[in-house]
Amino acid sequence: MSAEPQIELVGIDKHYGSFHALKNIDLTIPKGAFVALVGPSGCGKSTLLRSLAGLETISGGTMKIAGEQMNGVPPRKRDVAMVFQSYALYPHMTVEQNLTYSLRLKRVPKAEAARAAREVAETTGLTPLLGRYPRELSGGQRQRVAMGRAIIRNPKAFLFDEPLSNLDAALRVHMRKEIRALHDRLGATSVYVTHDQIEAMTMADHVVVMRDGVIEQQGSPLELYDTPASKFVAGFIGSPAMNFVPGKVSADGQSVQPDLPGAGSVALGRSVGAGRSVLIGLRPEHLQVGGDGPAVLRLPVSAVESTGSMTYLTLGGDPEIMVVDTGRTSVKAGDTISVSIEPGNVHLFDPATEKAI
Amino acid sequence: MAKFFNSLRDGVGFDLILVGAAMVFLLALAGLPLVYNVLMSFQQVDMFTLGQLIRPFAGISNYVAVVQQPEFWMVTRNTLVFVVGSMAGQFVLGFALAVFFAQKFPGAATIRGLFLVSWVMPGLVVGAIWSWILAGDFGVLNSILRGLGIIQSNIFWKSDPSFSIWAVIIANIWLGLAFNMLLLSVGLAAIPRDLYEAAELDGANAWQRFWTITLPMMRSTIGAVLSLGLIGTLQQFDLFPALTEGGPANTSNVAGYWSWQLSFQLYDFAKGATVSVMMFVLVLFASILYVRSTRHEVRG
């Protein structure tokens, strides 16, 4: 990945009447990067993507694609391709006509367009389907046509708007890899919008977590997982979601005492402001049943769900604590168990600002 | 086949009553007059045999006589001009208005609704209004055209043989405009927005989007609008008595009005029936086109 920026957003603002959809967004995307915009619905991620495409006009800030200022440039002159959630295939055109639509608009000679369509069909596995109409294709095949239509243009950037959300789970996992492989093969620059943090984590080099029109945090997937900047990011990244328990830092600042009956103090391995109230963040997969460390929590088990490879234990009631245990366990609902955690895996958040401490 | 019919039955006969009522209604009010009309076109009908069902058989002599009428070709030509002119005007203007109102601007839906006024107005009233607008000496249209410098002297729309058919066409375009716009608006609204967005990103300008997305996606709607427009235009009657009465000298006479004149002014019922049978064949043809066009719906 070269460092040369392909997309530069500085201070992007977007208002819909009195609604402030994007608030001062700064984002630089290097050439060849795969960036995921992720967040709950209404966080502005789709608006940001559509602004990049030119389908929404921004209210303020500057937007550059490949070094050229794009503010006010109509979508057809931006040279970016978009894959829509609905695929937006042209229903009255065959797969081949869908693929070559942009070329035909540019008056590319017929033979050349047909050759390009064959090449793209080859890469996307559409060769036997070139003569079909979109209504005769399955969801996954339509998805591929939408991808092919983007690829054939060799655009400056690929924009994906939740492209996998209409596919069933198995196909989604497959297409995830396929899209990423295609991205690597083409050396493309991709911006990928999703509400599914797993998609973002598995596909992207760089994940941008958005909430209420602002970027909460951006970084590599593991950075976000290991050092979430806020309670929101901590809760959003990772599945099942992080547990949050109110607590108080001890007098020496070296450990924290969860505010739960029967809980022991948790070593932090670092020093934090003594005596302050905090929110303790514990990832379900970091909590060990039994474990070697000193017991952190001792709580009754309210539910046991086993998937075979994993066992999900729900402890206590208010708040519920989720524990993921690999493999099988003899723990049953009603048992009271102890769980422990490594000091390095404990996250602390300020209860008022919800920022990480 | 038996299985198919069984799937339509509810077992107690209520379904038969429902279907039967509709069939009786159709046969009595559409089927019988139609058959009677076709029958009459092959008979000698005069004032003495008017009340009888069985009259002397005339073979195709009524058809020959109609074609040999001196005004036949004039009326045929007028009908053609009237149908093509009205449909073209209604469709092009209706489509333009539909596209216009599909843009989002304040009050678009309300103003579009107001356009429907022209559609709910009785043809005779529309005819009366346009009769004033088109009046040669005091009409507002002449006064506007003069004011704009397009014409120097008044055009006598309703009594000038070279304009009389156009007077009726103008009124008919106004009358059918809203109906065309409404159907085309529905068709436009059914095209998903993201198709336009995809086309825009693929590099299509507004004009190219219209030709490559809107028009092909509207195929079935356009087929329906044109077929219904043909039927509606051939059936247009009210405007003729209100505006020109087919004159002067049949220069604005069309098949439908001529058929009425033959039957109910000249009491030549056989010829009147013959003309309407000729029209019926045309409308039947259009109906088949309409049914076929709605069958070819494009579905995503």
Q: What is the pLDDT of residues B65-94, one digit of tens each?
A: 888 888 899 999 999 999 999 999 999 999
Q: What is the CATH number of the domain that holds A247?
A: 2.40.50.140
Q: Are residues A76 and B216, on separate chains, in Cβ contact within 8 Å? A: no
Q: Determine the average pLDDT of the residues in A128-133.
A: 92
Q: Are residues B270 and B236 in the same domain?
A: yes
Q: Are residues A169 and A213 in the same domain?
A: yes
Per-residue pLDDT band at B299 (split at 50, 70, 90): very low
What range does the domain containing B41 cover?
15-59
**Cα(A220)–Cα(A199) distance, integer angstroms:** 13
Give the mean pLDDT of chain B: 86
Q: What is the pLDDT of residue B7?
A: 67
Q: Determine the average pLDDT of the residues in A255-269.
A: 83
Q: Determine the average pLDDT of the residues in B27-52.
A: 86
Q: What is the pLDDT of residue B300?
A: 40
What range does the domain containing A255 cover?
241-349
Tally the domains of chain A: 2
Q: Are residues B25 and B102 in the same domain?
A: no
Residue B140 domain flag:
yes
- Whether the pLDDT of residue A261 is over 90: the answer is no
Identify the residue among A65, A77, A105, A132 best suited for mutation to test binding to B, counting B beta carbons within 10 A and taking the highest. A105
Q: Are residues A48 and A91 in the same domain?
A: yes
Measured CB to CB, residues of chain A less than 8 Å from chain B are 53-55, 74-76, 78, 80-82, 84, 86, 88-92, 101-102, 105-106, 134-135, 149, 153
Tally the domains of chain B: 2
Pick the more confident residue, A57 or B289. Answer: A57
**Cα(B21)–Cα(B17) distance, integer angstroms:** 6
Nearest by CB to A88, from B198, B219, B299: name it. Answer: B198
Contacts of B300 in chain A (CB under 8 A): 89, 91, 134-135
Q: Are residues B33 and B93 in the same domain?
A: no
Residue A356 domain flag:
no
Nearest by CB to B194, from A86, A92, A102: name it. Answer: A86
Q: Are residues A193 and A342 in the same domain?
A: no
Contact B171, B123 (CB under 8 A): no
Q: What is the pLDDT of residue B224?
A: 84
Please write down the long-range contacts of B68-74, taking CB distance under 8 Å and 24 or more positions apart.
Answer: B69/B271, B71/B250, B71/B253, B71/B258, B74/B250, B74/B251, B74/B253
Per-residue pLDDT band at B297 (split at 50, 70, 90): low
Per-residue pLDDT band at A114 (split at 50, 70, 90): very high
Q: What is the pLDDT of residue B114?
A: 86
Give counts: helices (H), strands (E), chain A. 8, 20
Bridge partners of residue A249, in order along the sequence: A256
Q: What is the pLDDT of residue B296?
A: 58
Strand order in the sheet with A297-306: A288-289, A336-340, A297-306, A310-315, A321-326
Q: Are residues B202 and A74, on separate chains, in Cβ contact within 8 Å? A: no
Q: Are residues B23 and B145 in the same domain?
A: no
Q: What is the pLDDT of residue B22?
A: 93
pTM to 2 decimals? Answer: 0.79
B55: number of Cβ within 10 Å: 17
Residue A355 domain flag:
no
The share of chain A scoring above pLDDT 70, in percent, equals 98
